[in-house]
Structure 1
Amino acid sequence: MKKTITLILITLVSISFIDAQTIKEVKIEGNKRTRTNFLKRLAFVKEGSQLDTVRIASDERRFRLLPSVASSSSKLEKIDDENYRLTYTVVENFAIIPGLNVSQDVNEDLAYRVSLFDFNFLGQNQIIGGFYSRNVFDSYGFFWEAPNLITRKWGVGVNYQRNVLQEPIFLDNNDEVNYKFDSRAFEFRVFYEHNFKNRFELGLNFANIDYNFLDGNRPQNIPEELGVDRVSVVGEYEYNNITNEFQYVDGFRSIFTYSFTLDSNGNNDLLRNFFIGRNDFEYFKRIGEKGNWANRLRLAYATNDTTPFAPFALDNQLNIRGVGNVVDRGTASIVLNTEYRHTFYEKGWFALQGNAFIDAGTWQDPGGNLGDLIEGESASLFTGLGLRFIHKRIFNAVFRIDYGISLGDKANNGIVFGIGQYF
């Protein structure tokens, strides 16, 4: 009995000693443009908090997820027997990013997109910027997002986009009909970060959409003009258990995006209410000191399965490298991308990375059924090699070049350029 009482007393004294260890002072170093009070607001550990190394590690990871931060670390210093000084050190990214994408449009002419975004607006990791693109026709858009504007968990964002494109529509007899797609959309979103692994977005999208016939062998049942005013609920749920250190990524992430039309007023049932959903499952694994294995499984489904104006495109920049620019469309798809990335050269701010990849996908044709995904008549399989030129201190500053070659019946191959990793 005496031994039991003694053990209980020792345990209580130990707990009291642990409780007495507190964080007296929190300092943040290395940040030049990112505001210190913003970083402190995001951190779990506050002045007066109990010493908890798990929460300190969580704060380091939370900082690394910010666009303005390339790397973060921490240091504990003992002030006295009961109090500690905690210092977070961050390495900042340059977060004002110009962008230029050059590709081929559907007419095999030059297409390009120029953009300018600040991912650390006001020193609070707000995103502000816009783009202009020329892809047969002119398009532009403006964006502002403040994910932590209201509290560390709540934020808002708005955007306006005018997208005008030449959209090929693929028919059952393999004929191709070209339409001018003109969309003007305003969107408002609310962001909620439950914790640093789970994030939600919910918003309303107000859009005016027009399709106007350009050329091709148009059947009688496909109208020459379509128009609709649409109000949609849009949103996203992200589970993020990713850790990153400059160009290296490790962990799992799932991103589910959706759009559901609440009200649609137009002149054709082909553009009536429908649901679009897509989920990206991503898995990254560090291989040794310089290797990275990256994987993405993309599942997509839309309920407008009887219309040729299908939402999911088979395209170089979106899912299958080397296949071409909008070569097919579907109302459901399964796409798997896997690649091995290896850093060949790294010094200071620069890194040169090579990759070997396999891209595979299958589509459900408009008017078809989910069995199309299994039968594989619309399947594509490509492999290839690529290079990545990486500026380690500029957010998402990855210039990529990939060359893909078909392993299936399609005789396609081609080069794909872009900014940022493919996924």
Structure 2
Amino acid sequence: MRKRLILALLTFCFLGYSQEKLISEIVIQGNKKTRTSAIIKLNSIREGGVLDSVRIEEDIKRLKRLPSIAHAYYQVHTKDNGYKVVYGVEENFTIIPSANVYTTNNDEFAFRVGLYEFNFLGQNIALGGFYQDDIYSSFGVNIRAPYLFNNRLGLAFNYQNLTTQEPVFLDNGIADYKYNNTSYEILGLYQFNFENRMELGVNYFNEDYAYRSGAVGPNVPLDFDVNKLLFKLIYEYNNLDYDFQYVSGFRSIANFQYVISTENVLPDFLIGWNDFMYYHRIGKKGNWASRLRVGLATNDDSPFAPFAVDNNLNIRGVGNTIDRGTGVIVLNTEYRHTLYDKDWFVLQSNVFVDGGSWRNPGGDFGDFGDTQNFRVYPGVGLRFMHKRVFNAIFRIDYGYGITEDSTNGFVFGIGQYF
């Protein structure tokens, strides 16, 4: 009798499970350039699987993060033989130019322009290059295929030949060097889950410094050429949710590098920094955005310190590489407000404050509180956006320094500042 009861219960459980409706069909609609197979590869649900609304919501968030997708949604239809799940997408135009232009009241002028395809072959592969004029000419080529092998594993390759005029800060003044960096980099890309991913790779590069003008130091060479090897680890946590121009959530990107030099002119060093980014919707048209960068490097007393104070990197309006340090703390915070939103076009205003401080080469943590190292630049800006073209945000910012020995100037670019 007992055995019959157990058998009946097992049979009941089996029949109940077997009669549970499963996903019978998955449909992708709205995609024209992006291949259906590329979208299905990224999704976590499969035909024959159990319907899971949490996983579907994550799939939609993942799709909206792709450069090829402007917006995504889903629908679930009940059928006699199971559930039909429809993923709908609105695609971006993904062949776009990039541009960054910046100037200050010291009449400095530099620009970088490029052309990128962010959905090469319909597989969400980014391919492109740039040309830069910053006193000298530079160029680079990049390819990034994050889902080359499957929905978790990919590769990236970068080449650049970058030449700039770099100020070197000596005890008796500032020297100007012509600096060239030629590099080859390969990275393995791995996504652990929806929110966490990692990049691991190596960069082989050559640095060439040539003295041009300014102060000289007894222990600072006028010219040197050195080959280096850089090992890189990037870890990202990303929980951002996008709704066209609006962003909400938290993102953290940690970057660690170990640089080995083949010459004694520049020592081996470690460098690491973390960007913490927080976005919050305010009402229907507002968006508050903040970025905190904290970084440290090996504290060598060298004029070639790795962290730069620069217009186009961290402080809008400050100028082109006006100082260097072996530690950095920078906070960028801004309020973005949509002034006009009609069909494909968006006009957005921007009020910001950029502030930061640096540790002097060979200095201590007290340098962060030194007024000579501390800079605060409030400012205003505008954003002109195309809602159907990836990263088609033309920005204009004007920063005005309120700390000692400050400058002011415009910063132009494509894409949000952060």
TM range (shorter): over 0.9
Matched, 1:305 2:304: no
Secondary structure at the counterpart of residue 89 of structure 1: strand
Q: Distance in 1 between matches of 2:161 and 2:106?
A: 21
Deviation at 1:417, TM superposition (A): 0.9
Q: Distance in 2 between matches of 1:49 and 1:66?
A: 25
Count of residues in correspondence between the two structures: 409
Deviation at 1:106, TM superposition (A): 11
Matched, 1:142 2:141: yes
Paired residue for 1:64?
64
Q: Distance in 2 between matches of 1:305 and 1:19?
A: 69
Deviation at 1:377, TM superposition (A): 3.3
- Residue identity matched to 1:300: G
- Residue identity matched to 2:65: L
Matched, 1:265 2:262: yes
> Higher relative CO (CA 8 A, sep ≥ 6), structure 1 or 2?
2
- Residue identity matched to 1:151: N
Deviation at 1:151, TM superposition (A): 1.2
Q: Distance in 2 between matches of 1:356 and 1:233?
A: 38
Q: Distance in 1 between matches of 2:109 and 2:357?
A: 28
The answer to whether the Cα contact below 8 Å between 1:105 and 1:135 also exists between their aligned partners in 2 is no
Paired residue for 1:363?
358
Matched, 1:394 2:392: no
Deviation at 1:226, TM superposition (A): 2.1
Q: Does the C-alpha gap of structure 1 residues 18 and 415 become closer, same or farther in structure 2, counting only changes over 3 Å?
A: farther
Q: For residues 349-400 of structure 1, what are the alpha-carbon distances to aligned partners after superposition, in whole Å with 9 as ceiling and x for unaligned?
A: 1100001111110111112112211344300011111100011111111111
Q: Does the C-alpha gap of structure 1 residues 121 and 232 become closer, same or farther in structure 2, counting only changes over 3 Å?
A: same
TM-score, structure 1 normalization: 0.93
The answer to whether the Cα contact below 8 Å between 1:275 and 1:304 also exists between their aligned partners in 2 is no
- Residue identity matched to 1:238: E
Q: Distance in 2 between matches of 1:220 and 1:370?
A: 27
Matched, 1:94 2:89: no
Matched, 1:336 2:331: yes
Deviation at 1:171, TM superposition (A): 2.2
Q: Distance in 2 between matches of 1:22 and 1:364?
A: 59
- Residue identity matched to 2:354: D
Alignment of 1:4-403 (within 5 A): 16=16, 20-80=20-80, 83-104=82-103, 108-173=107-172, 175-261=173-259, 263-268=260-265, 271-403=266-398
Q: Distance in 1 between matches of 2:24 and 2:93?
A: 32
Q: For residues 184-205 of structure 1, what are the alpha-carbon distances to aligned partners after superposition, in whole Å with 9 as ceiling and x for unaligned?
A: 1101110000012001000010
Deviation at 1:407, TM superposition (A): 2.4
Deviation at 1:14, TM superposition (A): 12
Secondary structure at the counterpart of residue 195 of structure 1: coil
Q: For residues 312-331 of structure 1, what are the alpha-carbon distances to aligned partners after superposition, in whole Å with 9 as ceiling and x for unaligned?
A: 11111111112122111111
Q: For residues 177-223 of structure 1, what are the alpha-carbon distances to aligned partners after superposition, in whole Å with 9 as ceiling and x for unaligned?
A: 00111111101110000012001000010111111111001111111
Q: Distance in 1 between matches of 2:325 and 2:232?
A: 21
Q: Does the C-alpha gap of structure 1 residues 372 and 110 become closer, same or farther in structure 2, counting only changes over 3 Å?
A: closer
Q: Distance in 2 between matches of 1:18 and 1:374?
A: 67
The answer to whether the Cα contact below 8 Å between 1:198 and 1:237 also exists between their aligned partners in 2 is yes
Q: Which segments of 5 or more consecutive residues in structure 1 lack a partner in the other structure?
A: none
The answer to whether the Cα contact below 8 Å between 2:93 and 2:390 also exists between their aligned partners in 1 is yes
The answer to whether the Cα contact below 8 Å between 1:337 and 1:359 also exists between their aligned partners in 2 is yes
Paired residue for 2:404?
409
Deviation at 1:18, TM superposition (A): 9.6
Runs of 4+ in 1 over 3 A off after TM superposition: 12-19, 104-110, 374-377
Q: Does the C-alpha gap of structure 1 residues 88 and 403 become closer, same or farther in structure 2, counting only changes over 3 Å?
A: same
Q: For residues 22-65 of structure 1, what are the alpha-carbon distances to aligned partners after superposition, in whole Å with 9 as ceiling and x for unaligned?
A: 11000111111111001001000111110111111111011011
Secondary structure at the counterpart of residue 266 of structure 1: coil
Q: Does the C-alpha gap of structure 1 residues 18 and 306 become closer, same or farther in structure 2, counting only changes over 3 Å?
A: farther
The answer to whether the Cα contact below 8 Å between 2:346 and 2:384 also exists between their aligned partners in 1 is yes
The answer to whether the Cα contact below 8 Å between 1:106 and 1:326 also exists between their aligned partners in 2 is no
Q: Distance in 2 between matches of 1:125 and 1:58?
A: 18
TM-score, structure 2 normalization: 0.94
Q: Distance in 2 between matches of 1:380 and 1:241?
A: 31
* Structure 1 stretch displaced more, 336-345 or 94-103: 94-103
Q: Distance in 2 between matches of 1:375 and 1:18?
A: 70
Q: Distance in 2 between matches of 1:336 and 1:158?
A: 30
Q: Distance in 2 between matches of 1:138 and 1:107?
A: 21
Deviation at 1:409, TM superposition (A): 2.0
Matched, 1:419 2:414: yes
The answer to whether the Cα contact below 8 Å between 1:119 and 1:127 also exists between their aligned partners in 2 is yes
Q: Does the C-alpha gap of structure 1 residues 408 and 103 become closer, same or farther in structure 2, counting only changes over 3 Å?
A: closer
The answer to whether the Cα contact below 8 Å between 1:210 and 1:226 also exists between their aligned partners in 2 is yes
Deviation at 1:13, TM superposition (A): 6.7
- Residue identity matched to 1:62: R
